[in-house]
Amino acid sequence: DDAHIGEYFTLRGVLLWIVNDFPTYGNLSSCVVKGYKACPICSDDTPSHRLKNGHKICYIGHRKWLPINHPYRRQRAAFNGKPEYGTPPEPLHGEEVLRIVEDINYIWGSKNGGSVGENDGDRVCWKKKSKFFDLEYWKYLHVRHVLDVMHIEKNVCDSIIGTLLEIPGKNKDGIAARLDLLNMGVKTDLQPKYGERRTRLPPGPWNLSRAEKRAVCNSFYGMKVPEGYYSRLLGLKSHDCHTLMQQLLPVAIRSVLEKPARYAITRLCFFFNAICAKTVDVSKLDKLEEDVVVTLCLLEKYFPPSFFDIMVHLVVHLVREVRLCGPVYFRWMYPFERYMKVLKGYVQNRTRPEGCIAERYIAEEAVEFCTEHLSDVSTVGVPSSQKMGVSKPLSGCTAHLYVLENTEEVLPYIEEHMIHIKTTYPKFRKRTKWLQDKHNSTFIQWLHFKVQSELNGEEHNGVSENLRWLAAGPSMAVPSYRSYLINGVKFNTKAKDDVRTVQNSGVYLLAHTMQVASAKDKNPIVSNMGFYGFRIPVLRFDWIDNTSGLVVDELGFALVDLSEIGHRNYQFVMTSQVKQVFYVDNQMHRGWSVVLSMPNREYNDAIGHDVL
């Protein structure tokens, strides 16, 4: 019902795209997802090659996506033994696909299907007309079936870790892979070396010694990450592989591998981190697409052809779908996989799974409906999160000054006070540090008398209630806490973190001077400053010295020395100004830690802005 014009209309829904894992992608789109033409986007022009010894098809040839004058196009031995003069295949439009499949007479039955073999190159890419083409608008969509980044990232991560650690069943290296190099006439330094008694496989750029494998495993084993970052490394599931691929794997391999192979893997990890961001800068997509093509070419240069299954090849098309469909997190399978886990938990009687799911779903709806009317009632069996700390004196002047300088109502008074200082001390007008120190030491008292004079005068109507309490000053006895939860992020004191398996004490602050100050909480105090009318939560941290305790390596990782403490006069920050980070021990340089950021989590703030 259109209330504006008073007419009824038929509301129609539109199916924009379908997201599935790759085998289901082929079933629903009616295209082949294995064999020589396994890529549904490249279609008949899929760059594929059959490995005779490995008895599998690899998908190499990503140099087609490079600029025509790129030096990699002319290199032979490092790739497939041939120069590359081809151009990237153009994806078929929906109308072109419909024109192709309309003439296909598909015969149903398993006996009519062909097997993958030597003549598979003549196989038609499209099997039949998809039922979705019955939708009148389906042929006009640029992307009808999207690639699931979750499963692609999972399989690529398994291939990398399986090859590095030589995990049986996931290792892409072996005698068959080396014999394929011999048949292709490429990478002569990695081909098998035949001796009188045995055949030796030269170590490749991806091979690790036993000590290096142990170092990689110890890196994962010793990591303390923030609460809720991932469930656990033991029994890893698909929904946790993105944490390995996007952040933890580049740190774990920092001290192992040869630099070219490590650089290629790290570039691929950075690509997945960028492609899965919640906000995407459209102007940077072209550069991101160029970078991932170079990354895949680097992997081709240093890894065997057997490494490149169809999942690795599909990475080259991910930026295209971001450009057409938007951010990845709107169209991957994480929500569905997690909800299927919830539904599986509903099943208590395996002989009647449907009934269990239906009954539990109805009960859950009833409970959720009741909780909307019982928000103020304390729960039974669940510990209260409102844990008050001990009231004790705090460095009131420092914290009070920080609160004032970060309150919008006080900013005009700060400017007025600076003008007052320059007028009172004209000899020091150009000495910025002296002016700032003088401002810090006198502003609180000056603001108190300034606000009092305005309240006693005719301009008292311009002073708000909040400003009056701020100028009066805080209570010196404030409650402090060992943990604080705000906007879905939990902060702990260092003492509490030391006895736990998680790390919630690291923060990051972007200073007004545009200098990045990484922080490690040595002995923080989380407190609410009482201004007799309201409370303002503040945090106190020990900050890392930016000059001697912070460096950035060639890959962009921030490294900090947690023993280098600086900025002791600016320890207080407001809870809304910091972002959570965590620290992983650097295996290359003892005493230094790698700074990793905590991704933003969605949260339901039903109680308020902050929850203790």
Which tens digits make up the pLDDT trace of 92-127?
999 999 999 888 877 766 555 544 444 555 567 888
Coil, helix or strand at residue 18: strand
pLDDT of 175 strictly over 80 = yes
Which tens digits make up the pLDDT trace of 2-47?
778 888 888 888 999 999 999 999 999 999 999 999 999 999 999 9
Which tens digits make up the pLDDT trace of 78-92?
898 899 999 999 999
pLDDT of 323 strictly over 70 = yes
Amino acid 156 reads V
Query: Which residues contact residue 38 at a Cβ distance below 8 angstroms, ignoring those fewer than 6 apart?
Result: 32, 46, 48, 57, 59, 310
Can you tell me the distance from the alpha carbon of 278 to that of 280, in angstroms, rounded to the nearest whole number? 7
Structure tokens at 535: 């409370």
* Number of Cβ atoms within 10 Å of the Cβ of 490: 15
Phi, psi of 200 (to 5 degrees): -110, 135
pLDDT of 609 strictly over 90 = no
What per-residue confidence (pLDDT) applies to 389? Answer: 47
User: Average pLDDT, whole number, for the chain?
Assistant: 81
**How does residue 597 score in pLDDT terms, banded at 50, 70 and 90?**
confident
DSSP 8-state code for residue 83? -
Contact (CB, 8 A) for 125 and 78: no
Can you tell me the distance from the alpha carbon of 571 to that of 316, in angstroms, rounded to the nearest whole number? 46
pLDDT higher at 485 or 370: 370
Can you tell me the distance from the alpha carbon of 24 to that of 142, in angstroms, rounded to the nearest whole number? 19
**How does residue 301 score in pLDDT terms, banded at 50, 70 and 90?**
very high
pLDDT higher at 338 or 309: 309
Beta bridge partners of 393: 477
The pTM is what? 0.79
What per-residue confidence (pLDDT) applies to 234? Answer: 65
Which tens digits make up the pLDDT trace of 408-451?
788 888 888 888 888 888 888 878 888 888 888 888 888 888 88
> Quick one: what percent of the chain has pLDDT higher than 70?
81
Coil, helix or strand at residue 546: coil
Can you tell me the distance from the alpha carbon of 439 to that of 310, in angstroms, rounded to the nearest whole number? 64
Which tens digits make up the pLDDT trace of 372-401?
777 666 655 444 544 444 444 445 577 777
Can you tell me the distance from the alpha carbon of 391 to that of 473, in angstroms, rounded to the nearest whole number? 17
Would strands 18-20 and 145-147 be described as parallel, antiparallel, or unpaired? parallel
> Quick one: what percent of the chain has pLDDT higher than 90?
37
Contact (CB, 8 A) for 59 and 47: yes
Alpha-carbon dihedral of residues 133, 134, 140, 145, nearest 10 degrees? -40
Q: How far apart are the first and last CA of the chain?
A: 45
Closest Cα partner for 148 from 299, 285, 310? Answer: 310
400 Rama class: left (phi>0) / alpha (psi -120 to 50) / beta: alpha
pLDDT of 165 strictly over 90 = yes
DSSP 8-state code for residue 245? I
**How does residue 483 score in pLDDT terms, banded at 50, 70 and 90?**
confident
* Number of Cβ atoms within 10 Å of the Cβ of 70: 16
Lowest mean pLDDT among 111-115, 185-189, 540-544, 594-598: 111-115
* Number of Cβ atoms within 10 Å of the Cβ of 76: 12
Contact (CB, 8 A) for 156 and 322: no
pLDDT of 610 strictly over 90 = no
What per-residue confidence (pLDDT) applies to 505? Answer: 78
* Number of Cβ atoms within 10 Å of the Cβ of 493: 20
The owner of tokens 């279609």 is: 43
pLDDT of 61 strictly over 60 = yes
Coil, helix or strand at residue 65: helix
Which tens digits make up the pLDDT trace of 554-584?
888 888 888 877 766 666 776 666 778 888 8
The whole-number average pLDDT for the span 347-354 is 91
Query: Which residues contact residue 504 at a Cβ distance below 8 angstroms, ignoring those fewer than 6 apart?
Result: 226, 227, 483, 490, 491, 492, 497, 580
Closest Cα partner for 320 from 63, 88, 151? Answer: 88
What per-residue confidence (pLDDT) applies to 513? Answer: 42
Taking CA 217 as the corner, what is the angle to CA 216 and CA 218, rounded to the nearest 5 degrees? 90
What per-residue confidence (pLDDT) applies to 509? Answer: 67
Lowest mean pLDDT among 128-142, 148-162, 181-195, 521-535: 521-535
Contact (CB, 8 A) for 544 and 561: yes
**How does residue 57 score in pLDDT terms, banded at 50, 70 and 90?**
very high
**How does residue 228 score in pLDDT terms, banded at 50, 70 and 90?**
confident
The owner of tokens 């209570």 is: 475
Give the Å distances, CA to CA, from 354 to 345, 346, 349, 350.
Answer: 12, 9, 9, 9
Phi, psi of 262 (to 5 degrees): -65, -40
Q: Taking each helix axis as running N to C, give the angle between helix 396-405 and helix 432-456, from 0 to 180 degrees, rounded to the nearest 10.
A: 80
Contact (CB, 8 A) for 399 and 572: yes
